[in-house]
Each structure stands twice: as C-alpha cells, then as structure tokens.
Chain A
Amino acid sequence: MLHTFVALVEDKPGVLSRVSLLFRRLNVNIYSLVVGRSERAGTSRMTIVAEASATAGHRIAASLYKLENVTSVDDVGAQANVTRELALIKVAATPQTRSHIFELVEVFRARIVDLATESLMIELTGVESKIEGLIQVLEESGDQVLEVARTGRMVMRRGRHGSRVLEAMRVPGMVNGEPGDEHEAEVLEPDVTGEHRFGE
C-alpha cells in the first residue's frame, strides 16, 4: 500500500540524502517526495509517499524520527487530510483542436497558462486521480500529451490538527487547553494499524 509521511526537518545540507538513504536501506521505493519551506524559519516540510506493506508504516515513521535532523514525523495515511498535487501538462493543439481542450480544462477547473501555435500548457491542481483523469481524457480524445510535470503529493491534516502551526505562532490556549490535544497522541501504540506520530 502507499504510505504518506509528513516530516518536519532541519533546513540543512545533506538532510535529504539522510532521508532518502533510509528508504533505500529498507528497500522501499519512494513514489513521490515534496520538499519545501514550512511555517517555521529553518524548518522544511517533506511529504513522502512510499510503497510498503501495511505493517511497515510504524517502522518507517520511527526510523525517520531516529534521524537527528528530523523534528517530527506523522504517518498521515489514514487521517482526515487535504491532499493536493500540482501538474503542468503540455498538449499538442492546433487552432482546430483548441476549443474542445478549453472545454475539458473548464470541466476539470484547470487553467491554460501557455499557448503556442502547436501546443498549449495546462496547470491543474488536485488529487492524483483528478490529474490522471484529465491526462486520460486528453489521450482518449486524440490529443497528444507532449510533456507532464507533477509535483507529487502534498498533504495537510484537517482542522484542529493544525495546532502545530498555532503552537509555532504561540497562540495561547490552543494547544494545551484542548481536550485530546496532540500530545496525547504521542504515546506510541504498538498497534501497527494505529497512528504513528513522533515528536512535536
């Protein structure tokens, strides 16, 4: 199955190789890996999607947390969350075929971001299935997909789980006052299907 881990890591040279080395050592293939800045200075946020057995989630999360540059790890797979991926798709298009591509773009709530004589570029944001859906429809309607660039999955927990941000912003009373605040979730359950969060 696909596991999705969100890791907050120190923004330093070599951190990415430490993280990727861990997956290599476990012989786990990384499906996608997104790194960017987080809400905190000096901290990057990684979203790692990897193919591994259902029981491997705990061990991968725990091993990630063992890396000294990793501040927190969250196996978000089964949690309520928002998932997004950005894709740029270049499609062969002549003045004759453009109009039906525009229609498709409208239906998928995508945007045209570049138009040339022989092609156009579509920007699309959404979950993977939406992106794959547009590509499939384009191909089935005879439009040649010339190039695809995808960012890979980015994930954020819904609702009150954003307390990490609040904590970082030092909003009082939001973290410790809450019943069942996320510190409760730190107690590691040995249950392999359970939630695996470390740190924070």
Chain B
Amino acid sequence: MSSSNELPNPMQDWQMGRGAQAAPPAPRHSHQDVETAVQTDSTIELTGAEIVWATLEGEGVREVFGYPGGAILPVYDALRKFPIRHILVRHEQGATHMADGYARASGRVGVALATSGPGATNLVTGLATAMLDSIPIVCITGQVSSKVLGSDAFQEVDITGVTLPVTKHNYLVTRADEIAPVLREAFAIAQSGRPGPVLVDITKDAQQAVAPFNFKAAAPRPRRPHPMLRAEGSAVADAAELLRAAKRPVILSGHGVIKAGATEAMLTLAERMQIPVATTLLGLGGFPASHPLALGMMGMHGESWVNDAIQKADLLIACGMRFDDRVTGTLASYAPHAKKIHIEIDPSEINKNVRADVALIGDLGEVLELLLPHLSGASAAGESAWLREINQSKGESAVRDIRNLPDLGHLYAAHVMHDLWRATGGNAIVATDVGQHQMWEAQYYRHEQPRTLITSGGLGTMGFALPAGIGAKVACPDREVWVIAGDGGFQMTACELSTIAQEHLDINIAIVNNGYLGMVRQWQEFFYDKNYASSPILSPDFVKLAEAHGIPGATVRARGEVDAALALARETRGPFLINFLVEKEESVYPMIPAGAALHEMIRRPASAGPDPMLESPDDV
C-alpha cells in the first residue's frame, strides 16, 4: 500500500493502458521461458496478465471463450505468448454458455473471459445456468484498478457482490501474486464435490504488476473434509437390505450419474437386481436408452408408465438427482408407498424435498462401489412380476408414440426429433434450448451415451442451445454436434451465428419454428383459456439470416423433406441451418399440470378423423 495520503485519481486509471504508468517495465519472457520454468518447478517473474495465461495453461486449458474490454486488456495483450485458443463471442452471455457446453460435453472445466462492468454483468445468466445444473466453469473478469475500487469508476460494478448467489464461490484479486493460487483454487472448487461455477475478478493493476510465478507452489491446499460416507457405515448395509427386500423397486438416474462417470456401476446395479431405471431430463444418456431396463424420462413431460411405476414403487433408489419439482409433481402424493434411498454428493439435498429413509452421501461411483459388494449374492431371476407389470403398461402407454406414424403431409416437431435420432444413430451431441422442442427432443431422441445431451434443466435458460452447442463443438471437434432451438430461444442468442462463421465450426442447427413461444402458448391453451398473450412471435427468414453469415441452410415444410435436409446438413462441411416449419399449435403430451400428482397426467385428447397424431395401439 502506498503511504501517500493523496486521494486516488480515477481519471488517471480509466484511460485504457495509462494505468500502467506507475508499474515497472514488464520483464520480457518468451513462452519458452515460462514452459521451462513450469517444467523445472522454478520461479519466474511475470506480469499478472501473463500469470493468468500461464496458470490456465498449467491447468490444462486449451480454449477460452471471451470478449475483450478496457479492464481486461492487459490479459488480452499477453495472450499472444501462450498456446491457448481464444474464441471471440458476440455477447458475454454466450461466453458463459459456451464454457458451460464445453464442460458438459467434455467433463473438463470451461473458461470464460470478460471485462469489468457490463461485460461482467452479462455473465450473470450463464453463471446462474451453470449453478443450477452444477457445471464446472471458471469465469475471469477484469476489474477497475484496486486504487479506485468502490468509487463508481468507469465500467466498475461489484461483480463479486452481484454474483454471490449464482456462483459456487468467487474472488476479488487485487495483487499479482494472488492470481495463480486463486485461479488454481478456483479450478479445484469448480470441479470438487458438487461442481459449480467460480468467478475470479482481477483488478487491472494486479494484471499489470509483476510477481513471481511458480505453478507448483500455487497448488491449492487440500480440500476441506467432506462428510463422506464410510465403508463400514451401517447406512450401506441398510440400503442393501432395502434393495433385497424390495418387490417393486425403481432406480431414479440423475445428472450425478453422468458427472460421476458412474454409468457402468449403474448398469451393474440395475442388471444384478433387475431394477428398472427412470431418468431425469439432465440424466438422459447416463443410462443407455436402448437398455431393456431403461424406462425413459420421468416427471412433468415424462412417459406415463415411468411416472406410474414411481407412484406404485415400494422402493426408490435416487442416484445423483435432487427431487426437483419438475420431477416429483406435488410432494404430498409423491411415491406414497416407496421407501427412499438417496445417493447424493451434496448433504444439503438430503431431506430437502423428499424424506430419505437411507441417505448415502458421497460421489455416486464411490458409493456404488461400496454398495455393490453387499448385493453380490442377489439373484437375477427372470422377469419379475413388477417388470412384467411395467412392461405391460409401457405397451399400453406407448400408443402415444408417433414414431411409426405415416406421413400425411404434416410436419410435427416430434417427427423431426425422431428422424434426427434415426439419421445420427443417437450418437450426436445435441444441445437443446428451452421449451416444447426441448421436451420433444428428450422424448424422441434416444441418448445412448453420457454427455450427448446438453440442455439447461434447472434454470431453463432460453438462448442456451446455440452458444452451448458451440462450446460442445470446441470441446469435441470430432463429434457431430446438433443445435436444436425454437424460433423464440434462437433469437435470444442468434448473434453467435457470427461466432460459428468466424471460427469455421462444423455445427448443424435445427430450428423448430412454430411461430409461437410454444411452451408459453401451451400453458395459455391449457390454463389461461387460450388467451395467447404475447406468445405469437415473428421471426426473420432464418435461412436468409444464416446466409448473411455465410452459412448455408434449408427450409423444411413437410415430413417427406426431413431426411433429405438432414442428410444435406450432415454431408455439408461446415455449419448448416435447417428451418423446420412445424405444426403451429401442437402441445407436448403427456403433461403433469402444476400442483397435480405424478400420475395425474394430461393425455392427448382423442380427436375425430384420421389425425396423424392420434394414439391407437396400431401405432406401436
């Protein structure tokens, strides 16, 4: 700290680049010098800005998503020395969703970069999205110089204050020597326990000052003890006993299965005990959809036989899921006959919504490793009465399935999802937005592998799909990536088309265009007397919009055109956009109305005449 009593002069600092006047000239180290220092575990003098990149490189970061501005310019200036790819976004919200999609698709930490003030506040929606879905991202923001903090300097906002409730943790860094330890701790926090977003706000003078950098010495201290379950804990034995005694068990497979990489252990558990597996929206892909024990999605737009099975079950084994209100319906009547085993990494989720009879706290993979030996002698006799009952009801309920319906000239979003699933063999990474198309995708695109569905579940963030799809493609350049968005959500972040063009990303985009904010319209139809207040939405010609970005596209109006358009998109090198003009007033069925029980689902009403969406047993 300066001993001078002079008041800080903000005018001196906000002028870009001039804040460096007092700083000593930066030492000129090449990237090779930094590499050598890291490899030989020696200390090297670097500017704070260089320390940012050197630490990111040390953490294994190869790509970051960001947008420059005054308070982060020193960091951008230092980028040229480091082998890290920077993807310039068109709006900082996009940077967070890209980092988010990157993390969901790869399991690695996504990194977003923004400047102070408006750049930082634009991150908030993306941070909240990542927070609600427990996604490990690290956001780095520039901040005004520490000398003028709190003075309402140009582009100053208290971003650590603003983001307190939407980050797992955040930091304000005012000294260059704090940057490496704080960033390394941020990476550790983002990934440990229940993952989540971490924001690191670095003042401009900290970026410009010089400090010794030693990657190894900046390693975070060991994480706090986690109230982890122990092998000898009686809870495991209690859980095993409940599992053995159960006659009508159902496994609830959540997002935690994917995060913990516990698909194999889940398969073992389900197969050994012959327990059917219901999946949450974010859990799709965690258990292969084609598996004979896979029931499908539960909850508000889940399959009716899945929700019925949960309501009739005598034991629920909840694995890495949190009994969200979209999954349980009204809690008063949720699974009334079932005891509950809750396997969860976050102790604060236990007994939050649903009372657990046995709680197993810890990483799902580790807990299953403890639990499975207790079940080694279990018999896997043929189909139990319970499975037979579920499979029968599945047969009856499957009549809502439109997959094999004839083409009568109509184009339904469900057809598009089904045809896309067929065309890609269920192996593409699909990023969806929020609303009707999101539910249709979840119902008709059958995910076989973890990390193939990228969707905003907890926050329900419209505008998520396009940037998240970009992040997924950057993380997994060899995978086929599809962005599916509605005409409403797509327009929220459509500016990122330009990012796709600039980065030459081979992403296919399917817009499910019904001229409405579809899910809003559906709720207005069901619950607000069809008063379609502000839900009809005008859109630009999306194909022309794509063309304006140099991206080819096609418009599809009938089911007969779907396959050809999909094939064209998949064959085209580089991005391709398809504008699917689908049935305007179609609703997602079945549906649990708000406040109703899980089994009280609204079913598709029978209509007169040969409605192509009509449910009949012949459809199966």
- Indicate if the CB atoms of A188 and B351 lie closer than 8 Å: no
* A40, CB-defined interface residue at 8 Å: no
**Cα A190 to Cα B352 with chains together (Å):** 11
- Indicate if the CB atoms of A68 and B230 lie closer than 8 Å: no
- Indicate if the CB atoms of B358 and A190 lie closer than 8 Å: yes
Q: A68-B168, A187-B233, A188-B361 are in contact. Are A63 and B224 (CB under 8 A)?
A: no
**Cα A192 to Cα B160 with chains together (Å):** 34
- Indicate if the CB atoms of B164 and A21 lie closer than 8 Å: yes
* A5, CB-defined interface residue at 8 Å: no
**Cα A188 to Cα B344 with chains together (Å):** 12
* A18, CB-defined interface residue at 8 Å: yes
User: Among the listed A13, A25, A58, A65, which residue makes an inter-chain contact with B350, where contact means beta carbons less than 8 Å apart?
Assistant: A58
Shortest Cβ distance from A55 into B: residue: B351
- Indicate if the CB atoms of A66 and B356 lie closer than 8 Å: no
- B:158-179 near A, CB below 8 Å: 160-161, 164-165, 168-169, 172
Shortest Cβ distance from B170 into A: residue: A14
- Indicate if the CB atoms of A187 and B225 lie closer than 8 Å: no
- Indicate if the CB atoms of B164 and A17 lie closer than 8 Å: yes
Min Cβ gap B324→A in Å is: 16
- Indicate if the CB atoms of B350 and A62 lie closer than 8 Å: yes
B235 cross-chain contacts in A, Cβ below 8 A: 187
Interface flags, B218-231, vs A, CB<8A=1, else 0: 00000011010110
In terms of DSSP, what is the predominant structure of the interface of chain A?
A: mixed
B230 cross-chain contacts in A, Cβ below 8 A: 187
**Cα A192 to Cα B348 with chains together (Å):** 12
- Indicate if the CB atoms of B348 and A62 lie closer than 8 Å: yes
- Indicate if the CB atoms of A190 and B356 lie closer than 8 Å: yes
From A13, A17, A62, A192, residue with most partner B Cβ within 10 Å: A62
Interface residues on chain B, number (Cβ under 8 Å): 28
- Indicate if the CB atoms of A200 and B225 lie closer than 8 Å: yes
- Indicate if the CB atoms of B359 and A188 lie closer than 8 Å: yes
- A:36-80 near B, CB below 8 Å: 55, 58-59, 62-63, 65-68, 71
- Indicate if the CB atoms of B227 and A66 lie closer than 8 Å: no
Min Cβ gap A68→B in Å is: 4
Interface residues on chain A, number (Cβ under 8 Å): 24
Q: A21-B165, A188-B359, A190-B358 are in contact. Are A199 and B350 (CB under 8 A)?
A: no
**Cα A29 to Cα B116 with chains together (Å):** 34
**Cα A157 to Cα B347 with chains together (Å):** 23
- Indicate if the CB atoms of B165 and A59 lie closer than 8 Å: no
- Indicate if the CB atoms of A71 and B350 lie closer than 8 Å: no
Q: Which 6 A-B pairs have the closest CB atoms?
A: A62-B348, A190-B359, A62-B347, A68-B169, A63-B348, A188-B227
Min Cβ gap B162→A in Å is: 12
* Given A62-B348, A190-B351, 20 further pairs, Cβ under 8 A: A13-B172, A17-B164, A21-B164, A55-B351, A58-B347, A58-B351, A59-B348, A59-B351, A62-B350, A65-B347, A68-B189, A71-B224, A187-B227, A187-B230, A187-B235, A190-B342, A190-B350, A198-B227, A199-B225, A199-B227
* A186, CB-defined interface residue at 8 Å: yes
* B346, CB-defined interface residue at 8 Å: yes
Min Cβ gap B499→A in Å is: 32
- Indicate if the CB atoms of B227 and A59 lie closer than 8 Å: no
**Cα A188 to Cα B165 with chains together (Å):** 26
**Could you list 9 A-B pairs, sorted by A, with CB under 8 Å?**
A59-B348, A62-B348, A63-B348, A65-B347, A66-B194, A68-B168, A187-B233, A198-B347, A200-B225
- Indicate if the CB atoms of A25 and B165 lie closer than 8 Å: yes
Shortest Cβ distance from A18 into B: residue: B164
**Cα A200 to Cα B233 with chains together (Å):** 18
**Cα A60 to Cα B513 with chains together (Å):** 45
Shortest Cβ distance from B225 into A: residue: A199
- B:237-254 near A, CB below 8 Å: none
- Indicate if the CB atoms of A186 and B359 lie closer than 8 Å: no
B347 cross-chain contacts in A, Cβ below 8 A: 58, 62, 65, 188, 198
User: Among the listed A14, A71, A199, which residue makes an inter-chain contact with B160, where contact means beta carbons less than 8 Å apart?
Assistant: A14
- B:323-376 near A, CB below 8 Å: 342, 346-348, 350-352, 356-359, 361
Interface flags, A168-192, vs B, CB<8A=1, else 0: 0000000000000000001110101
- Indicate if the CB atoms of B351 and A186 lie closer than 8 Å: no
**Cα A198 to Cα B348 with chains together (Å):** 11
**Cα A186 to Cα B229 with chains together (Å):** 9
Min Cβ gap B114→A in Å is: 21
Shortest Cβ distance from A13 into B: residue: B172
- Indicate if the CB atoms of A186 and B164 lie closer than 8 Å: no
**Cα A1 to Cα B613 with chains together (Å):** 55
- Indicate if the CB atoms of B189 and A188 lie closer than 8 Å: no
Min Cβ gap B9→A in Å is: 24
A190 cross-chain contacts in B, Cβ below 8 A: 342, 350-351, 356-359
